[in-house]
A and B are shown apart, each in its own frame.
Chain A
Amino acid sequence: MSDEILPVSAIKNGTVIDHIAPGQAFRIIHLLGLESSMHKVTIGLHLPSKSMGSKDLIKIESRVLTDAEANEIVVFAPAATINLIRNFQVTEKLKTSLPSAMKKVFICPNLACITHTETIATHFYISEDRKQIRLTCHYCEKIFDRDQLKVAI
């Protein structure tokens, strides 16, 4: 672990999402619905990181992420490390990969898209192009950079 010791308290059981690109933590919070859950959550923003310069970090007490949830996080934070914690120890490092598609997660930025008037789940295809995450709307076929999309709450 090359990073400095961080001023963030340890958790006994749960999940730590580390090495999140700065500014993406709140989008992951929305993605996982943590703002409305009863889990204790610690958020670190713009923390110093030797490998990234600065980073965000999220610790979720008493919640173990699924592989699918971990893969969705990769869309926001390709370099994220996701560790499962049991009794203050890292017991598993989740292996992640970029999902090929995500449904019901994003709002299409194209206001002319049919998803804004019909009660249907949004559906985006995900790809990586020159280290940029691109999302293509299944319906209107418009292609967006990751940061152009808002997470549906």
Chain B
Amino acid sequence: MSANLVDIQERCSMGVNTLYQKSIVSAKDIELADWKLIYEMACRFKAGKAPLTAKEKVVAHCFFEPSTRTRLSFETSTLRLGGNVIGFSNGDDISTQKGETLYDTMRVVSAYADLIVIRHPQEGAAALAKEAATCPVINAGDGANQHPTQALLDLFTIQECQKEINGLSIALVGDLKYGRTIHSFTQLCSLFDVRLYLVSPEILALPESVCDVMKKRGIRFSFHRSLEEVIPKVDILYMTRIQQERFSGAEYQMVRNQFIVTPTLLQKAKPNLKILHPLPRVNEISKEVDETPYAYYFEQAANAVPVRQALLSLILNENLK
């Protein structure tokens, strides 16, 4: 047994599992103590000796809109922990189609499950689910609002590939206005001493209100319109997809080609640079970049399982003996 797990077990047995029965609706629900527990536990799961911490537990995966990576990684995590999965993968086959409210649906599902994982197209749906449910709720994405578990696995990946988060320079590129992953990520950054470079078209800039919150929390950031100027400065290049539905055809064509990472563009990159992307990508990272030492987005996607295993384990178990 690793020293890490012993440490977690000791802390949990002392009653300091800060995540036990806790809902994770927003990145602001996550405190530094939570992050440390999740990180240490995820390292243990990644090392491959996962205890069956969800045995005899039922986790409801309620996906009201399509999802590939998030849904499958949550399901994989639950199954690998020895738990059982109930739920649905789109909102068409359930009683909300008959006019049932989300509140009632969540109240009922929580009577069947030990934990609910919800994805919903409307912003604030997870917060409402938390109010309705009698069990903890994890937000797996609510419209353009939040995606806190993606932000957790992003931070885990950054810690993994750079060994330390504090002191890093991180560029966030693409759709910073509507990207829920970005909103959660910037909030979690307030737990660390990082410098952010915000690279986007003007119409997709990070909302002013989010910038105000970052200022208050002491996060240093600046705005940029080109990738070339930030690549030599950063340790992490976090790319996001620009969503076609936000634009007219001509506008989309113009914006989508504005930020494309190519091997040529990376010639001035720092040696330790790693490129992340929550995926799916469209054209913002060229295929040739996959073969460079900078590409880390597939490792990032794989980290979804150990990080979500850690989160499920800590929420479902008061102590991990």
Contacts and interface: CB of A to CB of B under 8 A. Distances in A.
A141 B102 CA distance: 18
Contacts of B202: none
A88 interface: no
B124 A141 contact: yes
A110 interface: yes
A118 B123 contact: no
B127 A118 contact: no
A118 B146 contact: no
Contacts of A140: 123-124, 143, 145
B124 A137 contact: yes
B interface SS class: mixed
Contacts of B144: 112
A87 interface: no
Contacts of B103: 118, 120
Contacts of B183: 141
A142 B109 CA distance: 28
A141 B28 CA distance: 10
Contacts of B164: none
B132 to A, nearest CB: 9
Contact of B101 (A119, A137, A143): A119
A2 to B, nearest CB: 35
B212 A117 contact: no
A140 B26 CA distance: 10
A117 B212 CA distance: 29
Contact of A118 (B101, B142, B143, B212): B101
A115 B125 CA distance: 9
Nearest to A139: B124
B30 to A, nearest CB: 14
A139 B120 CA distance: 13
Contacts of B122: 112-114, 117
B302 interface: no
B143 A112 contact: yes
A27 interface: no
B145 A129 contact: no
B145 A141 contact: yes
Contacts of B26: 141
Nearest to B124: A139
A138 interface: yes
Contacts of B124: 113-115, 137-141
Contact of B209 (A112, A138, A139, A143): A143
B128 interface: yes
11 contacts: A112-B121, A112-B123, A112-B143, A113-B122, A114-B128, A118-B102, A118-B103, A120-B128, A139-B123, A140-B124, A142-B123
Given A114-B128, A120-B128, A139-B128, 13 more contacts: A112-B144, A114-B125, A114-B142, A117-B102, A118-B128, A120-B103, A129-B212, A137-B124, A138-B127, A140-B143, A141-B146, A143-B209, A143-B212
